[in-house]
């Protein structure tokens, strides 16, 4: 480690294997060095191609997403901002589960979208420097290499990688942020940042970088006020690039196969099924479950966010599984319901088939040419579901909102880096090519004598992740079978 530290201090030539991520925007970085070292001999705070060629192709910063695409995202953001604007993004911080036990680190989604840099204690600054696309500078402040600290924490990437791998125009030690940031903000016409400028207690003992950022921004506030950044990034994040769609398709393909292979087997406990899927979501490059899965036997499926997953599964019941994997930080979101014993009972089959028809109809509306929004597809799904349920003997003539009771959630949401992606981006937007959404109608029948007896206690939700195209949907998760005959044929 001591050696590593001195090597890093004395590097004298560009790390020539890093060049795949350099020379973006036609500006080669120039340094004068006298010795060379392979990047594969160094360690970074996240996989890079040189150390993890089994995970990343040359030029990629995260799986499937190149350094060029990250630079294009920053360029598009800067282009969308007013002249002289500066965007400031603090990273996420490590969160603690209990005492010294921490959760796996997950980067803040907008920071991740614009940098691909997956470390806490970091700050990204994007300054618009002119009117054209590409007129911006990118500054990435993070922890410098520190052999002693990294012996405890595992490796982090350091300042040199901020420039040479993550393509920052300048970098600096995050510990010095209170002196490094003000010069970047001094001439800003407007500062965009999603930090709690007015709410944080100034006497807070915390010295985390986001706290220092808050105090630095606060000190500038008398002449400059920060405005929310997320509304500027959301329209960019909402429309997925071909590379993002390919990444999400891979997440969907592997996750869908995992669900189908789970359906082939006879499970006796929710826990075993949960564990099987969680492992399956680490295969073929996936990094694990994208969210805490729902594995709910029988009437527990009526609890939308049932995640205890500790009960036994019983022959004669169905199991509802809402689970998906993550690939390169992009998620997939799938729900399937199947009979524990392999064959649907008559009522289970009727209710399942009704929801499946509504789901297929709703998926078909996911095309730009329909001009519909998710909200409008939701209303169409509600109407179709009510018609289906009336045919099965459900009555809707009461004063209460019966369909709202049976189908209490929205038909879908955007998906991407987050499960409920681009928070704050409205579902009233007409769908456009590149929007990625879920379609997930469900019916949860209360144990209430106003509903036909044989359906009481049943729960069905069928969910696919879908990419919107001009003329039709591209289902990202078709490998998870959903036709009654196909499910039953698996046993």
**Contact between 322 and ligand GLY (CB under 6 A)?**
yes
Report if residue 388 touches Mn ion, rule: CB under 5 A: no
Out of 147, 403, 419, 484, the only residue in the binding site for ligand GLY (CB under 6 A) is 419
Which does residue 291 bind out of ligand GLY, Mn ion, none, counting CB within 5 to 8 angstroms by kind?
ligand GLY
Residues between 149 and 178 that touch ligand GLY (CB under 6 A): none
Task: Tell the smallest beta-carbon distance from residue 467 to ligand GLY (Å).
Answer: 17
421 contacts ligand GLY (rule: CB under 6 A): no
- Find the shortest distance in angstroms from Cβ 273 to ligand GLY: 16
Q: Could you say which residues in the range 184-223 bind ligand GLY, by CB under 6 A?
A: none
- Residues 432-451 interacting with ligand GLY (rule: CB under 6 A): 440
Q: Provide the β-strand partners of residue 451.
A: none
Site string for ligand GLY, 9-38 (x = CB under 6 A): ------------------------------
Element (H, E) at 295: strand 294-297
Question: If contact means CB under 5 to 8 A according to the sort of partner, which of ligand GLY, Mn ion, none does residue 109 touch?
Answer: none
- Bridge partners of residue 321, in order along the sequence: 295, 336
Closest by alpha carbon to 46, among 416, 328, 332, 421? 328
Nearest to 165 by CA among 14, 7, 328, 36: 14
How far is residue 283 from each of residues 188, 204, 251, 368, measured CA to CA in Å?
46, 43, 10, 33
Q: For residue 15, which phi and psi values (nearest 5 degrees)?
A: -80, 100
Q: Is residue 464 involved in binding ligand GLY (CB under 6 A)?
A: no
Of 331 and 458, CB closest to Mn ion: 331
Q: Are 307 and 395 in contact (CB under 8 A)?
A: no
**Alpha-carbon span 82 to 191, nearest angstrom:** 10
List the interface residues with Mn ion, window 316-345 (CB under 5 A): 322, 333
Among 79, 105, 276, 291, binds ligand GLY (CB under 6 A): 291
**Which residues are registered as beta bridge partners of 66?**
60
Strands 226-227 and 190-193: parallel
108, interface contact from ligand GLY, Mn ion, none, CB < 5-8 Å by kind? none
Q: Which is nearer to ligand GLY, 167 or 359 (CB)?
A: 359
CA–CA gap between residue 145 and residue 466 (Å, rounded): 42
- Least separation in angstroms between residue 450's CB and ligand GLY is 27
Residues in contact with Mn ion, counted by CB under 5 A, come to a total of: 3
Q: Rule CB under 5 A: is residue 438 a binding residue for Mn ion?
A: yes
The encoded tokens of residue 46 equal 């996240």
Report DSSP letters for 158-213, one per residue: HHHHHHHTT--SEEEEGGGHHHHHHHHHTT-SEEEE-S-TTTS-TT-----HHHHH
Region from 71-79, 155-163, 275-283, 434-442 binding Mn ion, contact rule CB under 5 A: 434-442
Q: Are 394 and 341 in contact, with CB atoms under 8 Å apart?
A: no
Q: Minimum CB separation from ligand GLY for residue 360, in Å?
A: 18
**Least distance in angstroms from the C-beta of 250 to ligand GLY:** 19
> Which of Mn ion, ligand GLY, none does residue 119 bind to, with CB < 5 to 8 Å depending on kind?
none
Sheet arrangement for strand 190-193: 170-173, 136-142, 123-128, 85-90, 190-193, 226-227
From the CB of 440, what's the least distance to ligand GLY, in Å?
6
Minimum distance from residue 248 beta carbon to ligand GLY (Å):
15
Residues 331-390 that bind ligand GLY (CB under 6 A): 333
Q: What minimum distance in Å lies between the beta carbon of 429 and ligand GLY? A: 18
Q: Which is nearer to Mn ion, 370 or 438 (CB)?
A: 438
Q: Annotate 378-404 with b (16+ C-beta within 10 A) or e (fewer).
A: bebbbebbbebbeebebeeeeeeebbe
Q: Give the binding site for Mn ion (CB under 5 A).
A: 322, 333, 438
Binding site for ligand GLY (CB under 6 A): 291, 322, 333, 413, 419, 440, 463
């Amino acid at each position: 480690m001591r050696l590593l530290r001195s090597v890093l201090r004395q590097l004298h030539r560009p790390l020539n294997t890093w060049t795949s991520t350099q020379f973006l925007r036609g500006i080669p970085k120039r340094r004068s060095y006298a010795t060379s070292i392979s990047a594969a001999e160094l360690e970074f705070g996240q996989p890079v191609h040189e150390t993890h060629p089994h995970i990343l192709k040359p030029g990629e910063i995260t799986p499937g997403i190149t350094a060029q695409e990250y630079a294009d995202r920053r360029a598009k953001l800067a282009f969308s901002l007013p002249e002289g604007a500066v965007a400031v993004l603090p990273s996420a911080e490590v969160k603690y589960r209990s005492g010294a036990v921490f959760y796996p680190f997950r980067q803040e989604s907008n920071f991740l979208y614009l940098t691909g840099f997956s470390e806490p204690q970091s700050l990204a600054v994007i300054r618009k420097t002119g009117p054209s696309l590409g007129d911006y500078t990118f500054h990435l402040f993070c922890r410098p290499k520190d052999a002693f600290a990294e012996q405890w924490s595992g490796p982090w990437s350091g300042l040199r990688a901020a420039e040479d791998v993550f393509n920052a125009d300048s970098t600096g030690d995050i510990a010095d942020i209170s002196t490094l940031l003000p010069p970047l903000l001094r001439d800003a016409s407007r500062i965009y940042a999603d930090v709690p400028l007015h709410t944080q207690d100034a006497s807070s003992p915390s010295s985390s970088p986001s706290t220092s950022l808050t105090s630095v921004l606060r000190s500038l506030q008398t002449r400059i006020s920060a405005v929310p950044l997320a509304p500027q990034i959301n329209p960019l994040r909402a429309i997925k690039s071909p590379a993002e769609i390919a990444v999400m398709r891979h997440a969907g393909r592997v996750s869908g196969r995992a669900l189908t292979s789970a359906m082939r087997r006879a499970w006796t406990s929710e826990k075993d099924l949960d564990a099987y899927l969680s492992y399956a979501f680490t295969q073929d490059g996936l990094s694990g479950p994208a969210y805490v899965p729902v594995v709910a036997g029988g009437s527990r499926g009526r609890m939308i966010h049932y995640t205890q997953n500790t009960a036994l599964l019983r022959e004669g019941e169905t199991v509802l599984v809402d689970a998906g994997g993550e690939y390169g930080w992009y998620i997939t979101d799938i729900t399937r319901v199947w009979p524990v014993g392999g064959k649907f009972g008559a009522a289970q089959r009727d209710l399942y088939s009704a929801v499946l028809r509504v789901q297929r109809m709703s998926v078909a509306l996911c095309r730009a040419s329909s001009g519909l929004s998710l909200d409008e597809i939701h209303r169409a799904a509600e109407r179709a579901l009510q018609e289906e349920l009336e045919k099965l003997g459900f009555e809707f003539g009461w004063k209460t909102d019966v369909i709202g009771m049976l189908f209490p959630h929205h038909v879908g949401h955007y998906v991407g880096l987050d499960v409920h992606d681009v928070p704050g981006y409205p579902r009233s937007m007409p769908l456009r090519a590149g929007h990625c959404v879920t379609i997930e109608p469900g019916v949860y029948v209360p144990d209430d004598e106003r509903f036909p007896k044989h359906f009481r206690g049943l729960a069905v939700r069928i969910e696919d992740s879908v990419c919107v195209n001009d003329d039709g949907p591209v289902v990202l998760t078709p490998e998870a079978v959903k036709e009654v005959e196909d499910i039953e044929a698996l046993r």
